[in-house]
Copies of this chain bind each other. A is one copy, B any other.
């Protein structure tokens, strides 16, 4: 398996509606992108200071399948329309499971 992890930090002026819309739109991706084997997303629980805002853990059969997801137009549309407007910072890692 091949795992993609991305953590996103929202701008201070991001609204609750905008934050919720990211989760709603991302949650449609498993139906749109069959290469996604597992897709677990969530808003930071607020346990620790200084955290990022949102987490995505996505598993694929291979790095090639991850790239299909990365470059998929439905995914890119969510990034452009929902994530980019409120994105303050981003960190990502992909690793073999």
**Which A residues contact B (CB, under 8 angstroms)?**
2-3, 5, 7, 9, 40-45, 47-48, 50-55, 57, 63, 66-67, 70, 89, 91-97
A52-B92 contact in complex given A40-B97, A47-B63, A63-B45, C-beta closer than 8 Å? yes
Cβ contact within 8 Å between B2 and A55: no
Number of copies: 2
Cα–Cα, bound, A52→B3 (Å)? 14
Contact status B93-A3, CB under 8 Å: no
Q: What B residues does A40 contact at CB under 8 A?
A: 3, 97
Q: Which residues of B contact A96 (CB under 8 A)?
A: 42, 45
Contact A53 B93 (CB under 8 A): yes
Give the distance in Å from the alpha carbon of A77 to the alpha carbon of B44 in the complex.
Answer: 26
Whether A48 contacts B92 by the Cβ 8 Å rule is yes
